[in-house]
Structure 1
Amino acid sequence: MGRRFGAPAIVLMTVLLTGCGPSAGNTAGTPTSAPPPSPFVPAAGTCHATVEPIAPRNKYAPVDCAGKHRAETAYVGTFTGPDADRGTPPSADQDADKRAFQGCGPEATKYLGADWRGGLLTIQVVVPGADDWTAGSRWYRCDLVTVQMLDIEAVTTEHTGSLRGEFTHTSPLALGCFNQDKKEKWIPQPCTKPHRFEYVGIWSAPEDTYQTVADKPEPVMDHCRVVIAAYTGNAEFGRDAGVWFQFPPWKAWALGDHAVRCLYWNDERDETFSLKHRFRR
C-alpha cells in the first residue's frame, strides 16, 4: 500500500483640472475636480501571464489565450453582504475569500465541462486592489491555473489555448494513468501502456484540519477503496485494491478544497489497460 500527502492593461489615470480663472459652469472660480474613479470589473474568459492573488486595475493586462499563459479567468463573481461591507479586500486567510473559493468550484467545472478536481488544475481566487476596493469594486475572479501533478505544492505551468470546454473531449490535463520514477516524480502514461497507478476519483474529506486527516491514512485509504469500487463497478475488487492518494495543497485545503484524489495502485505488476474496463468488457 502507499500513500502520498500533498498535496499547490487598463490604466486608470486621474487628471486634476485646475485653472487661474473661472471655467464654464463654475462662476465662483473654484477649480473643477475630476469625478471619483468608477468601479472596475474584469472579464471572464481572459488569460493572464502570471498567477496573482490581487489584481489592481492599473496592472490589469490580459494576454492572448492562444499564446503562453499561466491563468485563465473562468468566472467573475461578486462579494455581497458583510463580505462586501469590509473596509479592505479579503485576504487568503479570511472567510470571505474562502466563500469565494467555494463559489468558484462549480463555475470552474461548468467552464471546463467536467469536475475541475479531476485535472492538472487548481483555482486561484483573485481580488481587487485596495484602491479599487475603496472605489467600489466588489468582484472576485476565479482563475484556473495548470499545475504539475502530483506534487506536494501546486507548481504552476504555462499553458497555450483556452481551457473553455477542455474536459468535453480527451485532454492531456485530465488525470489518468501514471508511473513514478526513482525520485517518485509522477509521469503521465497512456492507459494502454505499462503503468502502476490510475486516477479513479475524489473522496471529499470532512471539514477538519489538514493534519488531523493526514495523520490517519487508513480511513482515507478505506474511503478511496469505495471510490475504486464505484469506478470499476466491482465492490469485491475495491475492498482489497491497492491505494495511493493525494491531498490538495494545504493552502487550498484551508480555502475549502478537501478533495482527496484517489488512485488505484498495483505494486506487483504493470497494467496495460484502464481499470475502468477490467470488469465491464
Structure 2
Amino acid sequence: MQKFIGTGVALITPFKEDLSVDFDALVKLVNFNIENGTDYLVINGTTAESATITKEEKQEIINVIIKTNNKRLPLVLGVGGNNTALVIEELQTRDFTGIDGILSVAPYYSKPTQEGFYQHFKAIAQATDLPIILYNVPGRTAKNMEPATTLRLANDFKNVVGVKEAGNNQQQYYTLLRDKPADFLVISGDDDLALGVALAGGSGVISVIGQAFPKAFSTMINHGLKGNNKDGYAIHYKMMDVVDYIFAENNPAGIKTVLQELGICKNDVRLPLVKASTELQSKIAKFVKNF
C-alpha cells in the first residue's frame, strides 16, 4: 500500500461565520496541500468535526474534495462508529468512486473488550474490498485497542492494511513495529511522535498540523522514512511549539486558528467546540509570523 506511505493530513471542515460549510476555503486548503508535498488526504475524520456535520454536508464535502483533487492524490474516507451494523450499511450503500481507502475508528463510548474490537473490525473487513486503516485513539474512544488485537486483524484480513495509532504511547508503537506483518503500515496519529515513529520503521503520519505546513512537515517525515534523523529533528524542533498549541484546548480549534493566520479559512467551529481562547490565538499568531 505505497499510496498510504508518507504524510497524510486529516482535513478540517472550514466554516463561514454563520457556520455553514465554506467550500471555497475547502478547495483552497486541498490545493494548498496538493501543491506543497502532502502525500494523501483524509476526509471526514475527527478533525473534520464529523460528529456535527450532517449526512448531506458530508456527501457534498466528499464531492468537492474528489473534484478538486482530480485524481492527483489518494483519498481516504472516515467510515466508522460504535454501531457496527450502521458502519456496514454505509460500506454497502455508499458510492466509493474516487476513494482509495477508509479510515475506521475504534468504537467509541461503548468500551468493548479486545474480542469486541476484533469482531467489530472483522465484520467491517468482510463488508468491503476497500483497503482499511484501523484508527486507535483511546483518548477519544475511552478504550485502547491493544497491539495483539491490531496484529490479529492485520494477519487475518488482507484488506486491513494499516493502523493509525494515536495513543501517544511509544511502547505500543514499538510493539506494533516489531511484530507486524512485513507490508502492514504503522501510521502515526500523534504529530509530536511522528518523526520518531518514521525513524523506527513506521510508514509516516496522518497529521493535523501537516495541512498548515505541508512542505515542512512532509519534508520532516521524508527524512524520517530515509533514516535521516539529523535533518528530520531540525524541522521537528522548529515545529514543537505549534504542535503543542494546536492541541492545547481542542482539535480543530487550534489548527483552524493556524489556518486563519495563513489566510486559508476562518477559525469558526461548531458547538460543543468553541474557538481558541484569545491567549492561545495570540501564541499561534506569533508562531506563524515567525515561522
Q: TM-score range by the shorter chain?
A: under 0.3
TM-score by structure 1 length?
Answer: 0.22
Larger Rg belongs to: 1
Higher relative contact order (CA 8 A, sep 6+): 1
TM-score by structure 2 length?
Answer: 0.21
User: Which structure's residues are more often helix, by fraction?
Assistant: 2
User: Which structure's residues are more often strand, by fraction?
Assistant: 1
